[in-house]
Amino acid sequence: METQNVPYKRQIFVCTHNANGEKASCGDHNGEEIFRQLREIAKERKLHPMIRVAQAKCLGQCARGVNIMVYPENSWHNDVRVEDVTKIANQYIQ
């Protein structure tokens, strides 16, 4: 095993898990679409992959989705909706 420093300036984890109605999940509120839009913005701004937008498959707060977790800020956003993408992008993808 090798250990090194995290190779990214920032990591934005967007929960995209969809329980298909069996229980509350981020998929109920377009987690996949939010992930896709944020990833696309990072690419358009030529900040990907130094600012990495990654999918998470459940962050453990399913009823409060869509959940987004950001490092190194150690920030958590819940109840994120597609209309919040611009605000999140302007806060973290710059």
Q: Does 30 bind ligand FES (CB under 6 A)?
A: no
Q: Which helix or strand (DSSP H or E) is residue 33 part of? A: helix 31-44
By beta-carbon proximity to ligand FES, the closer residue of 47 and 85 is 85
Interface residue with ligand FES among 10, 13, 17, 51 (CB under 6 A) is 17
- Residue 54 DSSP symbol: E
Query: Which of 24, 28, 11 lies closest to 69, judged by CA?
Result: 11
Q: Does 61 bind ligand FES (CB under 6 A)?
A: yes
Interface residue with ligand FES among 15, 38, 85, 89 (CB under 6 A) is 15
Q: Which helix or strand (DSSP H or E) is residue 51 part of? A: strand 51-56
Contact 35, 43 (CB under 8 A): no
Q: Does 38 bind ligand FES (CB under 6 A)?
A: no
Q: Does 78 bind ligand FES (CB under 6 A)?
A: no
Read out DSSP for 70-93? EETTTEEE-S--GGGHHHHHHHH-
Q: Does 12 bind ligand FES (CB under 6 A)?
A: no
Interface residues with ligand FES (CB under 6 A)?
A: 15, 17, 25-26, 58-62, 65, 67
